[in-house]
């Protein structure tokens, strides 16, 4: 217990140290007691401690990560934290958490290599593809997203559950609300047509602009937006957290994926042809609806079961596996094929 508390304190201290270092003056003040020694050596604290001033953001990031992981793996006791406890998570949820960790780590490695000048490979984020494609410029991001759209025929919308960086933020937001007794899966807000309207608008504008720049279309492996800094990546995920909790509460779990994201909206159109899907063993179903209550995308699973479907073929299913984990009779299974 003491070790867990100390890890948490270490995380808070590291983050606060980074914040203090970013103010520069504070670091100068805390070093005042030893400043005399620096003067003797013909220098001063600002000069000697400049190293910390330069890497203050990394202290904030490291501190934040220590706090998040210590809360995730060693959450304080109490009923409020039940759904935030990693060891209580179901199999597929744990697997997704590992996948998200891997994706975020790969992005961070890419950023570090880019910042160190070791690689010039540009960002492959959707913005890099959409913003540049709009002016007729294509690079690795365009190739990456073309491949992703094709992979829907294999993995369905699995990309959404397993690889999108916004997914862990949305999942943790829903858990916080659930832990506080406000289950966002119960929200009745359902306007599925919004995502198709936005997706059509997105692709209409995209194609219109490509036609406009048709004469000057350009593809090069170096084309693409530059990478954001590590600080912006972590701070971006952090700042989007409270907004996500707020909107998840009002518009339901994964509101962004259900109503706003043109990437998800595009995949939703032909998601039903994907090979990765939830398979149903109708004879084992006892009609308890637990699967449906736990579906983060609000898929009407009981309808698929009732219709005697061999598998869930639904535009919204992201192959997350939560329904599989919540089925008490093992009537559902996530896998390839029909
Ligand atoms: S719908 Fe968009 S935001 Fe949601 S998981 Fe898929 S790609 Fe990410
Ligand atoms: S139907 Fe199952 S696998 Fe599909 S999104 Fe819902 S919980 Fe996830
Ligand atoms: S959780 Fe399992 S048994 Fe219950 S309704 Fe869903 S498929 Fe049927």
Output the tens digit of pLDDT for each of the chain's 338 residues. 677 778 888 888 888 788 777 776 655 566 666 677 777 777 777 777 777 777 788 888 888 888 877 777 776 665 555 666 777 888 999 999 999 999 999 999 999 899 888 998 999 988 888 888 888 899 999 999 999 999 999 999 999 999 999 999 999 999 888 887 888 888 777 788 999 999 999 999 999 999 998 888 888 888 988 888 887 888 787 778 888 999 999 999 999 999 999 999 999 999 999 999 999 998 899 989 999 999 999 999 988 887 767 889 899 999 999 999 999 999 999 999 76
Euclidean distance between CA atoms 286 and 198, whole angstroms: 38
Model pLDDT, residue 331: 93
- In this prediction, residue 189 carries a pLDDT of 73
Q: What structural domains and CATH numbers belong to the chain?
A: 2-75+88-269 (no CATH), 275-336 (3.30.70.20)
Predicted pLDDT at 303: 85
The CA-atom distances, in angstroms, between 290 and each of 25, 96, 286, 302, 324 are 56, 20, 10, 10, 10
The Å distance, Cα 305 to ligand 2 centre, comes to: 13
Chain centroid to CA 34: 44
Q: What is the pLDDT of residue 334?
A: 95
Residue 155 Cβ < 6 Å to ligand 1: no
Structure tokens at 232: 């912006």
What per-residue confidence (pLDDT) applies to 133? 86
Phi and psi angles of residue 289, each rounded to the nearest 5 degrees, phi first: 70, 10
Which atom of ligand 3 lies closest to the CA of 284?
3
- Write the residue with the smallest CA distance to atom 3 of ligand 1: 257
To test the ligand 3 pocket, which listed residue (185, 280, 284, 288) has its Cβ within 8 A of the most ligand atoms?
Answer: 288
Whether 320 is in the pocket of ligand 2, judged by its Cβ within 6 Å, is yes
Give the ligand with the smallest distance to the CA of 157: 1
Closest protein CA for atom 5 of ligand 1: 160
pLDDT reported for residue 289: 92
CA dihedral 124, 236, 265, 316 (to 10 degrees): 120
Phi, psi of 123 (to 5 degrees): -65, 145
């Amino acid at each position: 217990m003491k070790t867990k508390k100390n890890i948490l304190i270490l995380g808070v201290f590291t983050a606060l140290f980074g914040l203090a270092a970013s103010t520069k003056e504070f670091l100068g003040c805390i070093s005042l007691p030893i400043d005399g020694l620096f003067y003797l050596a013909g220098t001063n604290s600002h000069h000697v401690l400049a190293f910390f001033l330069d890497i203050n953001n990394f202290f904030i990031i490291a501190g934040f990560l220590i706090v998040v992981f210590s809360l995730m793996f060693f959450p304080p006791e109490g009923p409020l934290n039940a759904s935030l406890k990693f060891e209580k998570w179901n199999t597929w949820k744990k697997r997704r958490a590992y996948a998200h960790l891997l994706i975020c780590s790969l992005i961070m490695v890419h950023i570090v290599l880019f910042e160190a000048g070791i690689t010039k490979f540009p960002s492959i984020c959707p913005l890099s593809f959409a913003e540049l494609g709009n002016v007729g410029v294509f690079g690795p991001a365009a190739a990456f997203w073309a491949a992703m759209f094709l992979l829907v025929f294999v993995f369905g919308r699995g990309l959404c559950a397993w690889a999108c960086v916004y997914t862990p933020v949305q999942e943790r937001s829903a858990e916080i609300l659930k832990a506080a007794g406000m289950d966002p899966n119960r929200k009745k807000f359902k306007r599925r047509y919004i995502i198709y309207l936005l997706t059509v608008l997105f692709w209409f504008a995209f194609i219109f602009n490509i036609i406009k720049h048709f004469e000057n279309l350009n593809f090069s492996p170096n084309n693409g937006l530059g990478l954001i800094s590590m600080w912006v990546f972590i701070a971006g995920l952090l700042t989007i957290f409270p907004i996500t909790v707020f909107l998840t509460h009002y518009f339901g779990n994964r509101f962004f994926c259900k109503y706003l994201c043109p990437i998800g909206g595009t995949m939703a159109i032909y998601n039903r042809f994907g090979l990765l899907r939830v398979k149903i063993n109708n004879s084992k179903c006892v009609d308890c609806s637990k699967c449906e209550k736990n579906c983060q995308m609000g898929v009407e699973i009981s309808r698929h079961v009732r219709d005697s479907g061999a598998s869930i073929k639904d535009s919204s299913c992201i192959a997350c596996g939560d329904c599989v984990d919540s089925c008490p009779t093992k009537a559902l299974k996530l896998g390839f094929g029909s």
